[in-house]
Structure 1
Amino acid sequence: MGVTRLELLKMPEAQRRAYEKYLINKAVKKDMLESAYERGFEEGIARGIREAGRAKGKLEVKREIAVKLLASGSLEIEAIAEVTGLSIEELQGLQ
């Protein structure tokens, strides 16, 4: 609903005010949507960072357990790989 400046000036005052109110409401809605999008985007990034941190933490715990099991000599490397979910190559690198 694009109105030229001339068309706006030709409108009766009540219609012009209604159109101006429409434009203001449209701008407010656009701003609200943009703000919500930005907020959601930022929250998504923060959630992704937290989840990546948790995954890294779980991996570190698995490695710590593997190092202790390897040092104890109580299990074969294949069994440690199965229990921890780490690869045999990764376990060999921890020895």
Structure 2
Amino acid sequence: MKKEFLTSTFPNIEISLRIFLTLMITNCAGERSFSRLKLIKSDHRSTMSQSRLNHLSLMSIESDLLKSIDFDELISNFAAKKSRKKVF
């Protein structure tokens, strides 16, 4: 009953608190991404293309997932697929 009273008295407080709590998490993830980006793009590598920078930063941010991939299995699956080259 007390919870219903608080909800009816302050209907937007719960929504505001949920938004506030998610903002901290998103900010932390964004700061972590910029920190990784700073490590990748140094003064010596400032001339790399945007596409390469995107790929390197994605690999750096998702390094745990990248380390868990079994590349031998991935290569065998790729080699077992039917060739899709067109013969002219």
- Which of the two has greater helix per residue? 1
* TM-score between both structures, scaled by the size of structure 1: 0.41
Q: Which has the larger radius of gyration?
A: 1
* TM-score between both structures, scaled by the size of structure 2: 0.43
